[in-house]
Amino acid sequence: MKKHYLPLILSFALFTEANAQKIVQRDPAIEQLVAEVNADSLQSHIKKLVSFDTRHTMSTTTEEKRGIGAARRWVLSRFQEYAKQSGGRMTAMIDSWVLKPDGKRVDKDQDMGNVMGILKGTDPNDDRIFIVSGHIDSRVTNVMNREATAPGANDDGSGTATVIELARVMAKAQFPATVIFLVVSGEEQGLLGADYLAQKAVNEKWNIEAIMNNDIVGSNNSNETRIIDNTRVRIFSEGLPAFELDKKATGIRNMGQENDGKARQLARYAKEIGERYVDNLEVVMVYRNDRFLRGGDHTPFVNRGFAAVRVTEMNENFDHQHQDLRTEKGTQYGDLPEFMDFEYLRKNTAMNLATLANLAKAPTTPQNVTIDTKSLTNSTTLFWQAPKSGKVKGYYVLVRETYQPFWQKKIFTTKNGINIPYSKDHYFFAVQAVGEDGNESLPILPKVGM
């Protein structure tokens, strides 16, 4: 423990009041992986992506050095290279299909492909999948312009580089659950690649527990307010669930759980774990699914009932998004690498890595988490059963007042139940399974029972 003493204090100083009681205890194996995320490596991924001139979804797929096809094949080659380190557990592929004209942003048949690196879990009884994603396609001012140079360094070279870097660092590590490194196409033409995969995941009953979608995560300044800040990153998460809200609304209303959907829990988890491992980075929760006037690849997953969130830089510079390369009144427009901050991108990538590694290493979630509501009490009794797979050291019981944004207490127990002097009437509770190295699962809110 001694050698982690200093980072522990530094991280502690960054905590907001709501988090002030939490103790930072890092898993040395994850700490090591986080340390391997490299700003120069991220920069070189982005330079390569920009070198394909355009990665517009409707651009050439047959040229060797230009267009989205060449870019996809290069990402595939990266995944294949990293897979050599995985002892045969990682495979790489381009999941291909043909797009048909849709009367909107697709005007001809087009070859499509999502590039995937699949790092298979080591536990055959663990069918969980955790996904990190970015989109490879780029655009300029006119979304149909497939010929102009569209560097897409930040949108979304940054998210794509995040995914590539995670594959590079994580390929050699072992996790009981499966991690998928996902680089989709067709985001700017209507979230087409994410929609394709989300539907496939439903059809094939994939057990996806979390999707971290990274879109525009590598620049530290805003255009008009001139704020420069590389210490904060935003995570957008939906409040009320888009999926089957009508079925769930009564339960949500009765329990007051409008701030406790799956995506929100994942966002809170990423905040806690990201800040646990990455110094000088605050994960800022945004209590909405996405920004104004924009969409993102998490949404096709959210719409189908998966826990998916969007990671985006704190301050966006719209001079460098969706812009034709040009200079106007002394301002250079366009999404070029020189407007990025690779140290900031490193921290955001590290936050993703810590979150995914902690999830994939944790046991599965505790089962049948129940709150005893058979009588009027000023205390609370919860009970649960062991997770389906994974070795369990114990459980964290999470507690917060109903009006608080984050969990306030995290009580460790080795038992399968607890009675605590906090009234079920004005606190929320959840339970996480904790693995032998201290990695916690996603929290499960209790069902009402006897």
The residues of the shown chain that bind Zn ion, judged by CB under 5 A, are 155-156, 215
376 by DSSP, 3-state: which? coil
User: Which of 215/290 has CB closer to Zn ion?
Assistant: 215
**Whole-angstrom distance, CA of residue 359 vs CA of residue 270:** 10
In the complex, the smallest distance separating the C-beta of residue 216 from Zn ion, rounded to whole angstroms, is: 6
CA pair distance 143, 212, nearest whole angstrom: 25
Complex with Zn ion: residue 152 or 387, whichever CB lies closer: 152
Cβ nearer to Zn ion, comparing 123 with 188 = 188
Q: What is the dihedral of CA 56, 311, 47, 329, to 10 degrees?
A: 80
Determine the Cα–Cα distance for residues 292 and 294; give it in Å rounded to an integer: 6
Q: Least CB distance from residue 1 to Zn ion, whole Å?
A: 41
The phi, psi pair for 28, rounded to 5°, reads: -55, -30
Residue nearer to Zn ion on the CB measure, 53 or 215 = 215
CA distances to 84, 222, 279 from 318, rounded to whole Å, are 39, 8, 28
CB of 177 to Zn ion, least distance (A): 27
Within 167-218, strands assigned E span: 178-184, 207-214
Q: Which is nearer to Zn ion, 121 or 193 (CB)?
A: 193
* C-alpha to C-alpha distance for 420 and 161, rounded to whole angstroms: 45
What minimum distance in Å lies between the beta carbon of 408 and Zn ion? 35
Least separation in angstroms between CB 159 and Zn ion: 7
Using CA atoms, how far apart are residues 195 and 303, in angstroms rounded to an integer? 10
Interatomic CA distance for residues 325 and 153, integer angstroms: 12
In this complex, which beta carbon is closest to Zn ion, that of residue 157 or of residue 446?
157
CB–CB of 153/49 below 8 Å?
yes
Q: Which residue type does 120 have? A: K
The number of residues in the chain equals 450
CB of 305 to Zn ion, least distance (A): 23
* CB of 139 closer than 8 Å to CB of 131: no
Q: How far is the CB of 69 from Zn ion (least distance, A)?
A: 19
**Beta carbon nearer to Zn ion, 110 or 321:** 321
